Structure 1
Amino acid sequence: MDTAPLLDVSADLLVAIEQAWQQRIEAPAAAQAALQDLHAEALATANTTAAARARVGLLLLALRAGTQSGDPFAELEAIDAQCAQAHDALGHQRLNIIRALMLGEQGRREAAIDLLAEGKNAALAELPPGDALLYLNLLGNYLLEAGQISAALGIWYEGLERARAYDQPAETVMVELNLAVLHLRYCDFGSAALLLEAAWSRMKTQGLTAYRLVCAGNLATTWLLQDRPEDAARLLREMLDEVPAAFDAFDRQFFEIMLVQTDLRCGRVQEARARLDLCRARQVAQQLDAQLGAPLTLANCECLLAEGRLEAAQAEFARLAPLEDASQSVDPASNYERLGLELRLHEAQGNLRAAWLTSRQRQEGLVRALRELRAAEHLGRQVRYQCFRTELEQRMLRDSRVRSEGALARITDAHRELGARLTALEGLQMRLKEMALRDPLTGLYRRRVLADLLPREIATARDQSRPLSIALIDVDQLSRINQEHGFAAGDELLRELAHIIRILAPSPALGLRYADEEFCLLLPGVDGAGAAQLLARMQNEFQRRSSIRANSANDGVSFSAGIAELAVKDGVDSIIGRADLAQYRAKLRGRAQLVVAGGTG
């Protein structure tokens, strides 16, 4: 796609189109009306870019609403040609999303996967965050449908990280729901609950309405499977009471059947029976989808069992279709729930062997489903869900598993807190070590650093046949300055000299606070003459910058220094001793003197 600058772009019009596009999830009708008006305005002003961009949005909304007339591929290619003419890379990438949707609806899933996978890097570079998440979500859906669970999980987790990083609440919910449904399907109820609770909280906080029924239904199902029926019942009643207009007949029936199950788990058998009879009557009267027949039968069987009508419960259970082979099931969670009901029937009959066999089959199905999910997560999420693998091996009952998950969560929090404290402690130790090595007044390293550093520098200088010099610097008449101007003035003088040493010393030279009024300057690669020239510059700068001004020829500030260059026979003590002797000779000569020590052969 040509990425040259956009042609004939009206910034205000494009901004309005983008705002309408952002409404496509939460308010599709409003988005469609706005895009139609903006498309007409773009045509009236001959703005080809805006017209093409608006047509992209209208095509997507029409496909989702099922109102597209004519040949959608022909419409798409016409819009794509318009985007190419306007050099609109964003419009082109959005059309690739729509093209993949159309291929999927035609059953050409592999073609859709190839299209999205091949263009993924370019799409993520050119699309804004919300569209990039739509792209990744669609690719993950198709990969899952193709049985590529590992690849789908990798794509969705990538999308989840992007959504949270770029603060895209609607798209974050979309990805969290996909991940949660997958974990729920493969019996990973703990992970599913975490994702669904995060999505539900985000929807309520942000005022989002899209996907609300899907999230609530799956969250209630997960809580029910976690033996949290009161939480599930409260959520279902909230949805049925507060947003009745959001339900069509199918959704309402599904929620009512779930509420029957939650009431039964909570011991409200009479209330469950009354609601169940209404559901059964509604199923016949409204000729609802046969897809709800099995959940309704299961709910009736569970209700009969709770009422003590064992024979009727057995007869109702026998009406269900044979259970899928657990190794081939596409919905292990449904098998898990159904086997739980069968287990309770056997226990009520007193058939302990059949109960044991059913319990074993149920547990094996649970282990198999979770093992398949873990294998799919191995590439990117193995560590994150390692605690659940332990749960598989222990094959705990549902109530003990819930308690274990709580314990594992607390351990994880404790580990995280401990890690944070250890990191903080390590940082504190590093800061304390640095503080111990540095002089608090001047900020230079203390004398002890020289004991560690000088032997290495001497060895390096000899190995590389390069010079090495050391200078000992002593502030002249510091005691007199302290008496006449105060100790604060003396301290400021020492800080000024330390600053001069830092800014004038060439890399990798190192300045140190050697004693009360004495500094040391280590000069790798500098001979004695070069060191003397450097010290002379420092002397002049020290006198120029000093806050204490001379009142006479014998007043003012200065320092004296002794310099020693590394000689053949020098060691640590001898080179420091020669520099110290040179400094002593400099002090004997008077103020502001520099003396370079002679070699030792």
Structure 2
Amino acid sequence: MIEPLGRAPIGLEGLESFGRDWRETANELWRARLGWPQTVRRIASGVREATVRRGDAADTARIDLVLLSVDQFDRQAVRSGTEYATHLARVFEAAGDAEWRALALLHAARDRMMQGADDAADALLAWLDHEGEAAHVIDRAWAQAARARVLSLRGEEETGFRLGYEAVALLQGTTPSPERVFAVMNLGVAHQRFGNLRTGEALLADAFDTARMLDMREAFFLLAANVASIQLDLGMVERAQQTLAAVSDIPDRPPERHYHELMMSLALLMGGDIDGARAWFNLAAQAPTGERPPAMLQDSLRIEIALLRAEGRLEEALAVFRQAEATTPAALNHVAHLHLLSEAASLFADLENWEQAYVYERRHREGYRALQHHAARVERFAVQARYDLYRSQVERDFERQRREHAEAARATVQALNDNLSTRLSEIQALQSALQEQVITDPLTLLYNRRFLNEVLPRELERAARDGGSIVVAMLDLDGFKQINDLHGHTMGDQVLRQLAGLLREQTRVSDFCCRYGGEEFCLVLTGLDAEGAESRIKGILDAFGHVELDAQGGRRISELSFSAGVAAYPAHGSHVEALLSLADAALLRAKRAGKRRVYRCDPAIDRPGRPDPHGSSAQL
């Protein structure tokens, strides 16, 4: 049985010159093939020449299978190796080598998975039921992880996650190995695909830590790119840039470097560095077609659309979107598909095609709601799978030692119950977090209009009951369209985030800051009258005027401002609609009076539904 190396392949280079047991050489190369594929390919090619000179068909067949496996994994594509692997299985059978025959059949079954064949899951199950019984636990777990991936991709998520966690549990009981790294990584990627970002991040970070411990440098690009991808989904842009930069200087650059370059492009774009993002994207675009897995194609098209939008090349972005819409299956990655829909909505808005912008924004919202439900369901599958695994292990131990360790077994069962309770609490926390996402504006991280519509009526009821006061203030950025036109939408987004940050800093815990829509914000200030609120907002306006931002071309954006209108309960109105309308009317007067102003509601002028005496078509 081929044992794990238990270490990085220090001294592996010497295998090709050793005059020793060639079977043992093949065993070590097999165990190293996933962690150090380029090194193993180079060494195995030299070893093969030596076995051919010796004239031993079985020795040569073992090295050929190692090379097939390296090619399958390193290239992420099938190289017509299925038939040859089946031929090698017959060679091993003739030589009486059941162990390597099983490995050849495992390779053939995994080839079926790489081809996307309908019978891939059945082929892997057949291997597990027959050859897998006598195989090393690492190879058995690797086959189980492959079957889990197939089932998850074809919609059988519950079974897929259960098998995936079983595979990881098997590998955690062995010496750390590349198989363990990639089984955990694939489980993390599956969680990311279904929107379970925090769970996925923890798994991917664990896989990367194990790879660093084993010094699997040839896999660092792939692992770092996957970790950065989920960090970007979580909005951790700077951390993602650090993750990617940490491996950028590694001299050996495997095919997975193209995915790393693509994620670096996205990280820089999200950080506002458009030129840097373009440079990295162009590097990634040099990847040969055969080295681009479907997930990379999906991400590449989405990032190219965002990059072209940021560069103002809207028609080109539209052409790329049409290509993405025609070629990218939505089921490949639910989260990435939502990103694509969001990009489409923004793109059509930039093109002033409001009808299509609305269509894609609606699809994005519907997809997001569906993903929230799906994410919670899949997380429950994962929690149940982990619980079932642990429970099964305890039950086996209990049965084996029930007479002499009965009390210890009962304590363990209680610990399991406590663990299940904890995990259920985590699910409830996840659902609360998902609810928080529903009421939060993703750009500014302020509450959104939906939350305002829920909270303002409650606050008015509380004020009426307690005899308190509430102020509603409407704020609108001055000259925001010119900022977008002159400096681009990325800079416009940065201005919105700057104002949002000031609103958070200079309001109290009892107040509510909401993004009302576009460049308009709404504040709900409790326990203040109109005069006090006016003073508070003028202070925010003054602080905003001192903000300076660096723009492209060495230019700076300064003297930012907004206009605001203030209406108070009960002084000006007692209903939600009236207060919002009065605050908006006061805002309109502030705009027409020259902007950079905060106006209180004037009951003589500002009335709900009353036309503005100065006309209603002024340009703001």
TM-score, with structure 1 as normaliser: 0.52
- How far does the alpha carbon of each residue in 1:568-589 deviate from its partner, in whole angstroms, 9 at most, with x for none? xxxxxxxxxxxxxxxxxxxxxx
Alignment of 1:360-371 (within 5 A): 360-361=365-366, 363-371=368-376
Cα distance in 1 for partners of 2:436, 2:129 equals 44
- Deviation, structure 1 residue 358: 7.7
Aligned equivalent of 1:14: 23
Aligned equivalent of 1:86: 95
Aligned equivalent of 1:507: none
CA contact (8 A) 1:20 1:35 kept: yes
SS of aligned partner of 2:21: helix
Q: Measured at CA, do residues 128 and 339 of structure 1 come closer, stay the same or move farther in structure 2, by a change above 3 Å?
A: same
Aligned equivalent of 2:275: 274
Cα distance in 2 for partners of 1:228, 1:69 equals 35
CA contact (8 A) 2:232 2:267 kept: no
- Deviation, structure 1 residue 138: 2.4
Aligned equivalent of 2:436: 396
Cα distance in 1 for partners of 2:190, 2:78 equals 34
Unpaired segments of 5 or more residues in structure 1?
A: 1-9, 265-271, 403-601
Unpaired segments of 5 or more residues in structure 2?
A: 1-18, 388-419, 443-620
Cα distance in 2 for partners of 1:293, 1:359 equals 17
Alignment of 1:247-326 (within 5 A): 250-251=258-259, 253-264=261-272, 272-278=273-279, 292-301=300-309, 303=310, 320-321=321-322
Q: Measured at CA, do residues 54 and 385 of structure 1 come closer, stay the same or move farther in structure 2, by a change above 3 Å?
A: farther
Q: Measured at CA, do residues 113 and 145 of structure 1 come closer, stay the same or move farther in structure 2, by a change above 3 Å?
A: same
Aligned equivalent of 1:373: 378
Larger Rg: 1
- Deviation, structure 1 residue 69: 13
CA contact (8 A) 2:86 2:105 kept: no
Aligned equivalent of 2:107: 98
Alignment of 1:182-197 (within 5 A): 182-197=190-205
- How far does the alpha carbon of each residue in 1:294-315 deviate from its partner, in whole angstroms, 9 at most, with x for none? 21212443x47xxxx8xx8899
Cα distance in 2 for partners of 1:220, 1:170 equals 20
SS of aligned partner of 1:364: helix
- Deviation, structure 1 residue 334: 1.6
Alignment of 1:16-415 (within 5 A): 16-32=25-41, 34-35=43-44, 38=47, 50-61=59-70, 72=81, 75-105=84-114, 107=116, 109-243=117-251, 245-246=253-254, 250-251=258-259, 253-264=261-272, 272-278=273-279, 292-301=300-309, 303=310, 320-321=321-322, 329-338=331-340, 360-361=365-366, 363-374=368-379, 376-377=381-382, 380-381=385-386, 383=420, 384=423, 387-392=426-431, 395-397=435-437
SS of aligned partner of 1:227: coil
Q: Measured at CA, do residues 149 and 400 of structure 1 come closer, stay the same or move farther in structure 2, by a change above 3 Å?
A: same
Cα distance in 2 for partners of 1:69, 1:220 equals 27
CA contact (8 A) 1:227 1:399 kept: no
Cα distance in 2 for partners of 1:253, 1:44 equals 42
- How far does the alpha carbon of each residue in 1:456-485 deviate from its partner, in whole angstroms, 9 at most, with x for none? xxxxxxxxxxxxxxxxxxxxxxxxxxxxxx
Cα distance in 2 for partners of 1:331, 1:15 equals 41
Q: Measured at CA, do residues 182 and 71 of structure 1 come closer, stay the same or move farther in structure 2, by a change above 3 Å?
A: closer
- How far does the alpha carbon of each residue in 1:4-25 deviate from its partner, in whole angstroms, 9 at most, with x for none? xxxxxx9933222211222212
- How far does the alpha carbon of each residue in 1:375-434 deviate from its partner, in whole angstroms, 9 at most, with x for none? 6547514754762354235611289899xxxxxxxxxxxxxxxxxxxxxxxxxxxxxxxx
CA contact (8 A) 2:38 2:218 kept: no
Cα distance in 2 for partners of 1:40, 1:171 equals 28
Amino acid at match of 1:81: R
Which deviates more from structure 2 when the two are superposed, residues 209-218 or residues 73-82? 73-82
Q: What is the aligned-residue RMSD (CA, Å)?
A: 4.6
- Deviation, structure 1 residue 196: 0.9
- How far does the alpha carbon of each residue in 1:436-495 deviate from its partner, in whole angstroms, 9 at most, with x for none? xxxxxxxxxxxxxxxxxxxxxxxxxxxxxxxxxxxxxxxxxxxxxxxxxxxxxxxxxxxx
- How far does the alpha carbon of each residue in 1:124-148 deviate from its partner, in whole angstroms, 9 at most, with x for none? 4322233223322322233234332
Which deviates more from structure 2 when the two are superposed, residues 174-183 or residues 326-335? 326-335
User: How many residues end up aligned between the 2 structures?
Assistant: 375
Aligned equivalent of 2:575: none
SS of aligned partner of 1:240: coil
Q: Measured at CA, do residues 313 and 94 of structure 1 come closer, stay the same or move farther in structure 2, by a change above 3 Å?
A: same
Cα distance in 2 for partners of 1:399, 1:337 equals 18
Q: Measured at CA, do residues 65 and 344 of structure 1 come closer, stay the same or move farther in structure 2, by a change above 3 Å?
A: closer
Cα distance in 1 for partners of 2:335, 2:154 equals 20
Amino acid at match of 2:196: D
- Deviation, structure 1 residue 184: 0.5
Cα distance in 1 for partners of 2:242, 2:177 equals 25
Q: Measured at CA, do residues 318 and 154 of structure 1 come closer, stay the same or move farther in structure 2, by a change above 3 Å?
A: same
Cα distance in 2 for partners of 1:273, 1:78 equals 52
Cα distance in 1 for partners of 2:221, 2:38 equals 19
- Deviation, structure 1 residue 91: 1.0
Aligned equivalent of 1:481: none
SS of aligned partner of 2:217: coil
Aligned equivalent of 2:6: none
Aligned equivalent of 1:405: none
